[in-house]
Structure 1
Amino acid sequence: MIGSYLKFTLRSLLKNRVYTGINLAGLAVGMAGAIVIFQLVKHHLSTDRYHQNAARTYRVVVDLHLDDGSVEQERGSAFVLHETLKKDFSSVGNAAYVARKEVTIRVDSGGASRKFLEKDLVFTNADYFKIFDYQWISGNASAMSAPNQAIVTERYARKYFGNGQALGKVIRADNRENLVIAGIVADYPAQTDFRYDIFVSLPTIRKIVPEYGYEDWGWIDSNRETYITLRSPDDKAAFEAQMPAFAQKYYGPDDRVFHYRLQDLSDVHFNVAYGGKIKYNTIIVLATVGILLVLIACFNFINLSTAQAFKRSKEVGVRKVLGVSQAQVFWLFIQETALLTVVAGAASIGIAWLFAPVLSRWLGLGLRVNVLTDPLLMVFFAALLLFVIVLAGIYPAFVISNFNPVKAIKGLLKDHNRSFFSVRKGLVVTQFSISFVLIAVSTLIFLQSEFLKNKDLGVDKNLVLHLNLPEAETSKLSALRNELAALPEVAELSFFRSAPSVQTSGGGTIKFENRDWEKFVARSRAADAHFVKTYGLKLVAGRAPAHSDTLNELLINRKLVKALGLKSPEDALNRRLHVGDAGKTGTIVGVLSDFNNGDLYTGIEPTIVYADQKRYRRAGVKLRLISAPTIPRIAAVWQKHFPENVFEYTFYDEEIAAFYQREELATRLTTTFALLSVCLSCLGLFGLAIFAIEQRTKEIGIRKVLGASVAGITAMLSMDFLKLVIVAIVVASPVAWYFMERWLQDFAYRVPVHWGIFVWAGALAAGIALATVSFQSIRAALTDPVKSLKNE
């Protein structure tokens, strides 16, 4: 019985090749999209969940409650925090300090010397390897308690020493300290945010970074974090309850500012306020899109299956007359759906396997699709097949098995679902509503991304080259400036801590003249006297400061003038200002037009620019022009003064663009899946158009005989489907507007939700749908009416 049913199913599918092909393509593409999204969601949800102590591991973060009522969320911590927590709290099991730093590593091996600029280097202590799981190849974590020790990953051991023995070998850091490789660990997995390849023992940090405030509780740096494990997850509430007393003990009267709390390790990846990689809401949206893609594919199947049901009515009637029960007919068509779904599922694995590497390159992830080696993906795939079979198969099977056999044989059955709001038309409206929302949202994300990249930041970002400064020694910087400035391509040169609009600068409270400490925080930028010209900053009052190696004269921006309550920029000139984070007082000699300190998620802040040579870490080179010899000339000068370091450069405008990579990736994702949903919807519409035209062949022939034009027939056939798309646009517009408004809430500067976005999204959806239907409509309208009537 089963064999005969299977044989009949295959014959039926082959007989209706066009509809079978459309159903297979729709299900395969929809399931492939769901599989790729599942892998993407699984990657993010599993990030750093593999650590044995993950459930009781926390990052210690601090919320800075400022006197003006604002709160700054800071993931960094003071150097003394980790040891103090372990000493003061019995509930703390392990405490690790993680300090990231860019370091030049020199390797002398085989008679040759090689240098590497390493960005994935951290200073940490032995507790780090007790908190986080690493597979040890050789050595152990105890070496991290001694100075000048390092642990490297397998790939870095090969990078430095090839296939030779790395353990016990010596590498040199920043031409200051030799490091002995005391251990080798296996490479980190793809599902981690702790992508470090070199671990340097914590006592070494004082030698390589001597200027850091190691005993200062207020010296908090976002690149230096503290992680702890508690004896039990139940200790978290009690621990946080003791934090106010802890802050009062070590901060005294400033304890009101420092509100410490514990951030779950599972939240580190998702909380963008503390530097997370992706929002948890984005994961929910991705999962929802995956479900919607499968639903659209299933709706296509339901529509085409029910449309064809009346063509197979005589077949069903004969079967029932011959004694086949309604249940048997039902399961026969469920079997047909299952066979199609399994074949489409196999194809979807291949499609997903091909597409996953492309998405991986876009997102910088290691996504792979291999059902045989991924048990969780295998379970998801099986559940997906079952879900599609049930959702896509039950309704068509119920409709077909419920036919009256007598009416079916006599051909008296008619499609009673011709009303405007029939189930079939309702599914089409739903499909295009989903597609319209995705198109509109992806359009807005694209516009916002372009807006962020092109917005006037108050600085000149063109033709500015950024170089690292390994040392801030006066004689070296002076010689470097003189030689670079002598190059014909160089227009200006500035030394500074960080460039504007790329990363937020440091800051603190200030005292203006004889007033008390201000209640707001002012951002500070350590930069030399050439900073203004190099970045095209505009002076609205006063002058640029004179050259100095330390804070003497300073600049402020308009925002700070307003925050101080002054009537005009001129009122600030020649007034004294004490800068809290610098611990010095200077004279205001100029007021700058407002410019963005950091990203465009936040607004313009009160800002101070002052000289402090000890803090300079980068150089900005403003070029007149750029040609093939430009970079080599600059590199030669730089290398002359820093021969032990690796020359590396970036362009300022590229740094700013990279700052909004999250929006760029969101644009790619939403656009990809929006187009995929439109393609799926149009695939179903294409099949329905074929069926509708087949049903109206005789009508088309008669209309042509009576003088109807090709354009008129095409318009008539297309309009029925276009009406459904228009209804979908009207229904989906409020939903699209809601999601767009919610997404824009994170930006201080944003594009408006303009009506043009809805017009564009609607025109695109309607245009694609019309093109899909018109192809078949024109073909039918051009058919010889004599043949149409004869065939009918």
Structure 2
Amino acid sequence: MRGNYLKFSFRSLAKHRMHAGINLVGLAIGMAGAIVIFQLVKYHLSVDRYHRNADRTYRVVVDLHLADGSVEQERGSAYVLHETLKKDFTYVENAAYVAHKEMTIRVDHRGASRKFLEKDHAVFTNADYFQIFDYKWITGNSSVLNAPGQAVVTERYARKYFGSDDALGKVIRVNNRENVVIAGIVADYPEQTDFKQDIFVSLPTLKKIIPEYGYEDWGWIDSGRETFITLHAAADKAAFESQMPAFADKYYGRDGKVFHYHLQELADVHFNIAYGGKIKFNTILVLGTVGVLLVLIACFNFINLSTAQAFKRSREVGVRKVLGISQVQVFWLFLQETILLTVLAGAVSVLISWLFAPLLGTWLGLSVAVNPFMDWQLFAFLALLLVFVVLMAGVYPAFVVSSFNPVKAIKGLLKENNRSFFSVRKSLVVTQFSISFVLIAVSTLIILQSEYLKNKDLGMDKDLVLHLNLPETETAKLAALRNELAALPEVTDLSFFRSAPSVQVSGGGTIKFENRDWEKFVARSRAADDHFVKTYGLKLVAGRAPMHSDTLNELLINHKLVKALGLKSPEDALNRRLHVGDAGKTGTIVGVLSDFNNGDLYTGIEPTIVFADQKRYRSGGVKLSRLNAQTINRIAAAWQKQFPENVFEYSFYDEEIAKFYQREELATRLTTTFALLSVCLSCLGLFGLAIFAIEQRTKEIGVRKVLGASVAGITAMLSMDFLKLVLVAIVMASPVAWYLMDKWLQDFAYRIDIHWGIFALAAFLAAGIALLTVGFQSVKAALTDPVKSLRSE
């Protein structure tokens, strides 16, 4: 019996191959989208969850509650914090300080000397780091990091530095200051981690390389210096945090009320954007929702086409019932057909997602693999997905078919109620296009917002500016480098500074203006020389640029600070004295700058001070008049002449700014991709329904043509029924699209308006694509010879 049922299913699919093919492709595309989204969601939810103590591991973060009522969230911490927490609290089992620091590594091996600039993969840390985070030790152990001059590297960095030779015991030189011994090797970290460090230099070595660092200063907080702890039990968290106010009062005195320490769970580190997370958790929820919607659209297509096809097969069902097959047997017969088609679609979906995953991985900068036979979680998801699709797409059509009255079915008296506007089928079509319209509208907004961010006037010139790293700030070397570069014909100006305009600044503090008390707000500090204004095309609205100095003497403020100080005009600030808290010095205001952004456009413009402080300079900005093949080589030669022991590296300023908005680029790619998928699926279903509707009205079309109806008139008549459904979907979905767009834009200090044109464009695209899909079949039907149409009936 089962063999006969299976044989029937294959014959039925082959006989109705057009509709079977549409269903197969639709289900395969929908499931492929769901599989890829599942892999993305699974990756992000698994980041750093593999650590043995993940449930009781935390990053110690601090919220700075300022006198003006604002709150600054800071993931960094003072050096002294990790030692003090372990000493003061019995709750704390391990405490690790992680100082992210750019390092120049020199390796002398086999008679050759090589240098490497490690920007993102090197840290200073202590032994507790390896008690908190899980690494497999190849040789050595974590205790080596308690002594100066020691380091641990991953296997891939051991190969990078020493090839196939054993790296243990080998010496590397860090920042041309200290020789460090490789005292341990650990296995490479897995893909699912945000802690992608490969070289760990012992924390005591940091004091030798950077002796001027504020090791005992509780106020020396830097985002690149983090503290991680494990508690003896996760339940200790509440008790620990309840003691933090008293802890802050103890070490900060009267400023204790400003520093609100709390623990950030390790699981939150990846998702919390305020503390430097990689992706919002809401984005994961949205991705998961989109995956479900893609599958639902594919299922709706299946239901629509299957129920439409059922009325063509009513005589077949009637005959089977008359011959003794029960309603339950008919139900399982047609459900088996759905199961067979779903399994085939599942196999195709795995192939599609396997082909598409590498491209998506390249877009996202991570490995997205699809192999259900090597990934039990994906295999389980695929199995559940197949069951879901069968139940969602197969049960209702099978029930409809099995409930046919056999007498009416054989006589051909079963007719579908095509006049019911709000039938199940039409409701599903409206739902499909509502989803597609929302995705198209949101995608359009994200694209427009991304373009707005890229092209917004930031208050300075970002074109043809080359950035160089500065390993040292010795006056003679900087002066010599300036002279060398200024002599190049392509160089129009050069500035040395801590960070460029519109590159996020975390430094700053309170200020005192003239004889007033400390201001209640925080002003951002930018250490930069007297060429800063000209190099970046900043606009002076009053006064002049400062004279050359190696330390704070004259300073510039921005227009935002003028307003914050309550001054009537920029001119009122000139020649007034301002004490800069984080620099501990007082200078004279000689100029007021037009406002420019201190960071990305998620945040607004802040009060800002620009002053000279050569010890803080870390970069150089070279303004070019033109760029050719030899320009970089000449700049590199001049730089290498002054810093022969270091690695030359450069970047272009406009590219650095573009990196701020990688999240928007990612959102654009993802929403556009899945919006296109949803439109394709919806139109695929519409295409199948159009074929069925036209087949049902073949005689009517022939009669109308005989009576003189034009091709355009028949096409319009056939298309309008479907176009009405799409227009209803657009009207219903517009409020939802507006709500989602408004929520997304709230993250930006600078954003575009939600203009009616976005909805008009999305509606035009949705309706236009639907009209083309249906119109093609309508024109084909309208051009058919009416004699053939009437004869076929």
Superposition TM-score tier, normalisation by shorter sequence: over 0.9
| Partner of residue 480, structure 1 | 481
1:493-572 map, 5 Å = 493-572=494-573
8 A contact 2:555–2:588 mirrored in 1: yes
Matched, 1:300 2:301: yes
Q: Which residue of 2 aligns with 1:97?
A: 97
CA contact under 8 A between 2:495 and 2:620: conserved in structure 1?
Answer: yes
**Partner secondary structure for residue 113 of structure 2:** strand
Q: Distance in 2 between matches of 1:438 and 1:179?
A: 54
State the Cα deviation string for residues 24-82 of structure 1 (Å, max 9, x = none): 00000000000000000000011100000000000000000000000000000000000
| Aligned match of 2:707 | 706
| Aligned twin of 2:324 | 323
Amino acid at match of 2:724: K
Does the alignment pair 1:641 with 2:656? Answer: no
Percent identity between matched residues is 82
**Structure 2 Cα separation of the partners of residues 36 and 734 of structure 1:** 29
Paired residues for 1:132-211 under 5 Å: 132-211=133-212
Deviations 1:673-706 (A, max 9, x none): 0000000000000000000111111111111111
1:312 aligns with 2:327: no
- One-letter amino acid of the structure 2 residue matched with residue 41 of structure 1: V
Deviation at 1:113, TM superposition (A): 1.1
- Corresponding residue SS for 1:51: coil
- Cα distance per residue 1:327-382 (max 9 Å; x no partner): 00001111000000000001101111111111111111111111011111111110
1:87 aligns with 2:105: no
Rounded Cα–Cα distance in structure 2 between residues aligned with 1:446 and 1:328: 52
CA distance in 1, matches of 2:137, 2:455: 47
Show the 5 A alignment for 1:592-611.
592-611=593-612
What is the CA–CA distance in structure 2 between the aligned matches of 1:328 and 1:185, rounded to whole Å? 62
Given that 2:41 and 2:287 are in contact with CA atoms closer than 8 Å, whether structure 1 keeps it comes out as: yes
Once the two structures are TM-superposed, the CA of residue 446 in structure 1 deviates from its matched residue by 0.8
- Post-superposition shift, 1:176? 1.1
How far is 1:419 from its partner?
1.0
Give the deviation of 1:112 after TM superposition: 1.0
Contact persistence 2:60–2:229 (CA under 8 A): yes
In the alignment, is the contact (CA less than 8 A) between 1:484 and 1:490 conserved in 2?
yes
Cα distance in 2 between the residues matched to 1:92 and 1:99: 20
Q: Per-residue displacement from partner, 1:371-404 (whole Å, max 9, x unpaired)?
A: 0111111111100000000000010000000000
Q: Decide whether the 8 Å contact of 1:498 with 1:505 is kept in 2.
A: no
Work out whether residues 505 and 525 of structure 1, in 8 Å CA contact, stay in contact via their aligned partners in 2.
no
Distance in 1 (CA, whole Å) between partners of 2:164 and 2:519 is 60
Could you tell me whether the CA contact under 8 Å between 2:513 and 2:579 is conserved in 1?
yes
Distance of 1:687 and 1:576 partners within structure 2: 77
Counterparts of residues 213-362 of structure 1 (less than 5 Å): 213-362=214-363
Q: Secondary structure at the match of 2:515?
A: coil
In the alignment, does 2:757 pair up with 1:753?
A: no
**TM superposition shift of 1:623:** 0.3
Amino acid at match of 1:761: A
Who is 1:58 aligned against?
A: 58
Instruction: Determine helix, strand or coil for the equivalent of 2:640.
Output: helix
In structure 2, the partner of 1:683 is 684
Structure 1 runs of 4+ off > 2 angstroms?
Answer: none
State the match for 1:32 in structure 2. Answer: 32
Cα pair 2:24 2:341 within 8 Å, conserved: yes
Q: Return the TM-score normalized by structure 2.
A: 0.99
SS of the residue corresponding to residue 596 of structure 2 reads coil
Q: Following the alignment from structure 1 to structure 2, what is the Cα–Cα distance between the partners of residues 790 and 164? A: 85
Counterpart-to-counterpart distance in 2, 1:709 and 1:102: 75
State whether structure 2 residue 390 is matched by structure 1 residue 423. no
Instruction: Tell me, in whole angstroms, the C-alpha distance in 1 between the residues paired with 2:127 and 2:164.
Output: 27
SS at match of 2:102: strand
Question: Contact (CA 8 Å) 1:30, 1:297: kept in 2 or not?
Answer: yes
- Tell me, in whole angstroms, the C-alpha distance in 1 between the residues paired with 2:624 and 2:207: 37
Q: 8 Å contact 1:31–1:294 — kept in the other structure?
A: yes
- Partner Cα distance (1:16, 1:159) in 2: 60
Contact 1:505-1:598 at 8 Å conserved across structures: no
One-letter amino acid matched to 2:469: N
AA in 2 matched with 1:549: D
Aligned equivalents of 2:180 and 2:537: distance in 1? 43
Structure 2 counterpart SS, 1:385: helix
CA contact (8 A) 2:496 2:620 kept: yes
Aligned twin of 2:395: 394
Taking the aligned partners of 1:784 and 1:417, their CA distance within structure 2 comes to: 25
- The corresponding residue for 1:106 is 106
Q: Determine helix, strand or coil for the equivalent of 1:698.
A: helix
Aligned to 1:7: 7
Equivalent-residue separation in structure 2 for 1:418 and 1:671 (angstroms): 36
Instruction: Report if aligned partners of 1:510, 1:580 keep a CA contact under 8 Å in 2.
Output: yes
What CA distance in whole angstroms lies between the structure 2 residues aligned with 1:505 and 1:272?
15
1:747-786 to structure 2, matched below 5 A, reads 747-786=748-787
Residue-by-residue CA offset, 1:524-564 (whole Å, 9 max, x unaligned): 00000000000000111111000000000000011101111
Alpha-carbon distance in 1 for matches of 2:284, 2:381: 17
Q: Distance in 1 between matches of 2:207 and 2:428?
A: 66
Measure, in 1, the Cα distance between the counterparts of 2:448 and 2:184. Answer: 49
Q: Distance in 1 between matches of 2:155 and 2:590?
A: 54
Corresponding residue pairs, total: 792
In the aligned structure 1, how far is the partner of 2:331 from the partner of 2:376? 33
Q: Which residue pairs with 1:45 in the alignment? A: 45
Are the counterparts in 2 of residues 19 and 687 from structure 1 also a CA contact under 8 Å?
Answer: yes
Distance in structure 1 (CA, Å) of the matches to 2:208 and 2:451: 44
Distance between the aligned counterparts of 1:514 and 1:458, measured in 2?
A: 31
What displacement does 1:212 show? 1.6
**Aligned-residue offset at 1:210:** 2.4
Cα displacement string for residues 565-596 of structure 1 (whole angstroms, at most 9, x for unaligned residues): 11111111111100000000000011101100
Secondary structure, aligned partner of 1:214: coil
> Retained in 2: the 8 A contact 1:47–1:192?
yes
- Secondary structure of 1:113's aligned partner: strand
Q: Distance in 1 between the 2:249 and 2:419 partners?
A: 75
- Cα deviation, residue 505, structure 1: 4.2
| Distance across 1 between alignment mates of 2:301 and 2:295 | 10
Determine helix, strand or coil for the equivalent of 1:359. helix
One-letter amino acid of the structure 1 residue matched with residue 110 of structure 2: G
CA distance in 1, matches of 2:112, 2:775: 70
Distance (whole Å) between structure 1 residues aligned to residue 501 and residue 725 of structure 2: 51
1:265-288 CA distance string (max 9 Å, x none): 011110000000011111000000
Secondary structure at 1:619 match in 2? strand
Q: Which amino acid aligns with 1:706?
A: L
In the aligned structure 2, how far is the partner of 1:169 from the partner of 1:322?
A: 86
Rounded Cα–Cα distance in structure 2 between residues aligned with 1:465 and 1:602: 25
> 1:22 — aligned with what?
22
1-side partners of 2:686 and 2:228: how far apart?
55
Q: Quick one: distance in 1 between partners of 2:643 and 2:716?
A: 74
Q: Secondary structure at the match of 1:348?
A: helix
Distance, in Å, in 2 between the alignment partners of 1:502 and 1:769 is 45
C-alpha separation in 1, matches of 2:769 and 2:128 = 59
Letter in 2 for 1:636: A
Distance in 1 (alpha carbons) for counterparts of 2:30 and 2:484: 61
Equivalent position SS for 1:59: strand
In structure 1, C-alpha distance between the alignment counterparts of 2:768 and 2:110, rounded to whole Å: 66
Deviation at 1:417, TM superposition (A): 4.5
SS in 2 for 1:126: coil
Q: CA RMSD in A?
A: 0.7
